[in-house]
Amino acid sequence: MGTTQLESVPEPKYWHLKTVLSEALDSEFEVGEILPNERELAARFGVARATLRQALEQLELEGRLQRRRGVGTTVAPPRVGVAVGPEQHGWPGSGGDAWQPVDCEETVPPAAVARFLGTDPEEQVHTVRRTRRTHGQPVAAELLYVPAGSVPGLAAIDRLAGAARARAVLRELQRLELEGQDRAVELGSARADDARQLDRLPGAPVLVLTTRYFAQGRTVAVAVATYRADTCRLTFGETGSVQITHTGEERRAS
């Protein structure tokens, strides 16, 4: 990075510095590389360390940088693509699924999910917990709600626990013929449980992707996936098909 004088720039110094640093990240640094310390960067750009910190904080919010205790400030990996569009996708846990099952338990779903599923407000359903990671860091957590009526072949599920129990629910769900699905995305704030799984503070910005799966003429499952907003981006294909970008590679959703 070369020295840049910012005295005559009309916009806030930290904002212009953020732009300069962002360009340097694209051209001079690799993912995971550690940036010079604040003293060196401030001297190189001729700014106060307070201005530099503002620029670095903004880049961290945008997902370009990661601050790791004991390591320093590193270049963040590419954002994970969150597929949004009208195309049909496979069942959760099908081939090419990037999620890892964690556990499964019987819980009462949120009221909005119960309405989608057509279950009684206090009726418990299978709740599968899954996580998604990239470059060794958690980027998303998902809760998949499946009523017992959608997977009637799970009579012996009580013998299973943890990830094995979750996989059993996913396998049984895949026995149904998928008729379609719809998706909705909204910006939200991380709840305490989500924050712990995503290594974020409660209230951190997240993207919440809700997916309804249709089979047998009804909604048979609902997935609520919470993505870290600083590591994810929405993706749409040029012709209406969704492009999923993950760890630097692109593949067409199917």
246 and 240 Cβ atoms separated by less than 8 Å: no
pLDDT, averaged across the chain: 81
Residues 227, 150 within the same domain: yes
* pLDDT given for residue 5 in this prediction: 56
In a domain, residue 161? The reply is yes
Q: 142 pLDDT band (50/70/90 cuts)?
A: very high
Query: Measured between alpha carbons, how far is 222 from 142 in angstroms, rounded to an integer?
Result: 10
CA quadruple 169, 174, 177, 183: dihedral sign = positive
pTM: 0.69
Q: Give the mean model confidence (pLDDT) for residues 102-125.
A: 94
Q: Give the mean model confidence (pLDDT) for residues 83-97.
A: 71
The number of angstroms, rounded, from the C-alpha of 185 to the middle of its chain's C-alpha atoms is 12
Residues 35, 85 within the same domain: no
Residues 62, 110 within the same domain: no
Task: Return the higher-pLDDT residue of 159 and 126.
Answer: 126
* pLDDT given for residue 119 in this prediction: 94
* pLDDT given for residue 194 in this prediction: 85
Which ranges in 109-253 belong to alpha helices (H)? Answer: 111-117, 162-173, 192-198
Residues 95, 173 within the same domain: yes
DSSP calls for 69-91: TTTEEEEPPPPEEEE-SSS----
Residues 95, 194 within the same domain: yes
The CA-atom distances, in angstroms, between 69 and each of 111, 227, 245 are: 39, 23, 28
Residues 235, 169 within the same domain: yes
In a domain, residue 61? The reply is yes
Max mean pLDDT among 79-93, 168-182, 189-203, 240-254 falls in: 168-182
Query: Measured between alpha carbons, how far is 24 from 36 in angstroms, rounded to an integer?
Result: 12
Which ranges in the chain belong to alpha helices (H)? Answer: 13-28, 38-45, 49-61, 111-117, 162-173, 192-198
Residues 156, 205 within the same domain: yes
Total domains in the fold of the chain: 2
In a domain, residue 1? The reply is no
Residues 221, 175 within the same domain: yes
In a domain, residue 111? The reply is yes
Q: What is the CATH number of the domain that holds 141?
A: 3.40.1410.10
Residues 71, 194 within the same domain: no
In a domain, residue 36? The reply is yes
Q: What is the CATH number of the domain that holds 52?
A: 1.10.10.10
- Of 28, 54, 75, the one marking the end of a domain is 75
In a domain, residue 172? The reply is yes
- Of 25, 42, 75, the one marking the end of a domain is 75
Q: 218 pLDDT band (50/70/90 cuts)?
A: very high
Residue type, position 162, single letter? G
Q: What are phi and psi of 77, to 5 degrees?
A: -70, 165
Q: Token pair for residue 54?
A: 């503002």
Residues 180, 71 within the same domain: no
Domain range enclosing 212:
80-252
pLDDT more than 70, % of the chain: 83
147 and 123 Cβ atoms separated by less than 8 Å: yes
Residues 58, 89 within the same domain: no
* pLDDT given for residue 226 in this prediction: 92
pLDDT tops 70 at residue 8: no
The CA angle 249-253-254, to the nearest 5 degrees, is 140
The CA angle 135-79-245, to the nearest 5 degrees, is 95
- Of 56, 75, 94, the one marking the end of a domain is 75
In a domain, residue 8? The reply is no
Q: 82 pLDDT band (50/70/90 cuts)?
A: low
pLDDT tops 70 at residue 72: yes
Residues 191, 215 within the same domain: yes
For residue range 145-200, list pLDDT tens digits in order: 999 999 988 776 777 788 999 999 999 999 999 999 988 888 888 888 888 888 88
Q: Give the mean model confidence (pLDDT) for residues 189-214.
A: 87
